[in-house]
Structure 1
Amino acid sequence: MFRKVLIANRGEVACRVVRACEELGIISAAIYSEADKQAEHVRMADEAYLIGPPPVKESYLDIHSILQAAKDAGADAVHPGYGLLSENADFAKKCEREGITFIGPSPEIMELMGDKIAARKTIKKAGIPVIPGIDQGADSAEAALEHSEQIGYPVMLKASAGGGGIGMQKVSNEQELKNAFEGNKKRANDFFGNGTLYIEKIIENPRHVEIQVLADQHGNVIHLGERDCSVQRRNQKVIEESPSPFINDKTRNKMGEAAVKAAEYIGYVNAGTIEFLVDAQQEFYFLEMNTRLQVEHPVTEEVTNVDLVKWQMRIASGEVLHLTQKNIVQNGHALEARIYAEDPINFFPSPGKITTLALPNGNHIRHECGVRAGSVVTPHYDPMIAKIITRGKDRQESIDQMINALENYHLEGIKTNIPMILEVLQHDIFKQGMADTSFVTETLRSANV
């Protein structure tokens, strides 16, 4: 096992990795920008290293500064968390060159799955269904129009190198596509350094269901069931749950088998997630693969009792995955809500100082929190500040626990999206397990600002 791990991230995920290191007897080394000197992850870690000024490109995305911190710390491994550099193959390669283990898959696999067009082609070769579309990029609006005519409107315009809904837009006709193309191309280039867009057919009102996989360096691959992430606002997940209230056991088993098959086909190692869209007839289609830990990983941990972060580090250190598929049993139901520093009326970021923070307690309430009373939420970074996870013997109990927890979540000094989350949880469509990816946009008008 590693002696010391540098955590190349911030906020609640950095706190999560610190805890895992502590439980494994590993020294944790945090990094921080000048804006994060008093941050919770800095306070929790055994050591902390300043890497630059507040702007993310000059700190948490500065590979040179982060590697220098790793060398100064004497770290033998780097955990990238999620977001930031977690799927940056160049960062993983440079860690390797410095003799530092990158806790994740190989750079080659990250590059393959990070290019959505290449990933799509590869998964098709593995015999797994993909969304109908064109297996090449559109370098101009004219090419995009030609592709869309071949597929048939409505279509989804997507960034090949993208994620998080950036560079993604539904278009229903030729004029909408002309209007959308250049703006999405620019956004994709600004965020990912790659403006390539491609076109896929719209799966009307689908479910977004993903399968968690674990794979070691010795050829062992398992899946840990599914997460339903259909409750989204502008392609950003809001609430996640496991198991899905929509898919049946036959579909569940087929999706799990497909995810394992995909991971085996590409020679995947470490924790990863295969994301699918599922239509009303429970036909599923590959969407993308995330070659990292997911924000929503706690719901899987809660229903399987498997610590994914610890297994990431064990696998990266060469340990054999002794868990088998028969060992994985989902017990109960878990929900996760993402807490954002956002105005619940207009959804603008709400930076400022948290004057009061009192978290609700309970046997089946879990907090992943990157702030405390006195923390300053800056405008420099993603506004997600915490997550709350509940587990019940069934879905209704988990929902009731979440509602009760959020109603007793006392946070003052900044605004949050908690009112919108409560609106979702108390809506009949959600309570009946019928919320698809259009639910927030089409039903909760207040959330479609």
Structure 2
Amino acid sequence: MSDLKKTPRLWSLLGALLVTASQACAGETAPGIDDLGKPFNEYTWVTAHNGYLDNMRTQLERGVRGFMLDLHPGNLSGEADVYLCHASEKGRCDVRNDKDFVGALNDVFLPFLRSNPEAVVTLLLENYVDRTRLQNALGRVPGLADWVFDPNPYAEDPTWPTLAQMIGSGRRLVILTDRHAGLYEIDGKPLHLLRDKHWENQNHWDLGVTILEHEWSCPSRWEQYDAQVWASGFGHWPRLFVMNQFHTWGATVDHAGALDNNLTWLERRVDNHCAVAMGKRTAPNFLAINFNRVGDALSYAAALTQGGFYFYEANQASPDQDTTCVIPAGRSQYLRLPARGCENDEARSMKLRGISAGTRVVVYDSPSGSATDDYAVIDIKRDIGLDEAVTVRTFERNEDNADFRLAYVRNNGLDGKISRIVIGTTPPDSDAVMLR
């Protein structure tokens, strides 16, 4: 047993050098997402509902990559600009206080894309201005046509271009709109706005008229969910999925952090309610929330995209109790709890999605990672797909199956007492290590 004890302690020393943060690190397109080789429709992006209500640059730096923006005319007579605000269909924005669309493009989105060469940003427009006014606004953003995504070069491909292809093309701003979609000519160059209901599925936007009501079912905003894009020439491409997860009225930061943006409710919505409505579990491409500075959406988006370690408050990964946290896959982690949304002394089981063979997870009772108290070592034996869910039902047993090998060192119990999590790789000689 001494060899088994030494290895996790060595990882602890190395792992102390790791830094975790919510912002994207070098090589990442968003926090926790560094694989650029997947088609665009296989990524999940945290998306800001009414994104203009908070500092948009700060949200971009936080890792938000989708913005729902309402476009309205200004409230001055003859005002030709396009403004960002929340108003009724015939309403107008207050030009004294509300942000203008041209300024947001010139001063926020394009500068961010220039300074973050691996970022791809999507704007989802709810548009209440006419085509002429919109054309005028777009025409006052120098070079915009060179940034906006054009699907036509990829029409013969079986699916969406990869993120790397989009990055390589320089066209890293995807724009979908509910009105006045189509081809615009800006400075002699084509610019494409995609019609939202032709390119995406979207659930109805409201979780309840007030925060006291919770409508978790996932009906389509447009009567039905379709598998393929409707746009001519692209009917073989899969649709994007926008999952709205917010209360329209009365929501607060505290409410969003505890409920709408909480991992337990996000996961239940994807795995249960929306899966039933859509006929299968479908990871959203755009996870639309309010108050994205709180909650678990960023880590969940990374886990949906590249895999993750999901920890549960109950044994058997039971959905009847909370999902305590998810740790995105893809890098070594050394966490002294509470950290990364994981609470101390809660986890009793784990679910694995999108985890590579040769990954090792060690969970400790001791906050310092001491091997004198309970701990368990889980070695992943095969590649586990994103669409799979392999369950570690308890940490208090020795188990060896086709998916993983679990070795448990007992003192006085581990389930519900985990205080440290280390994620790394399985040492080459681990099969020779035996418990005594």
Report the TM-score range of the alignment, normalised by the length of the smaller protein.
under 0.3
Q: Given the two structures, how large is their TM-score scaled by the length of structure 2?
A: 0.26
**Higher normalized helix content (fraction of residues):** 1
Pick the structure with greater CA Rg.
Answer: 2
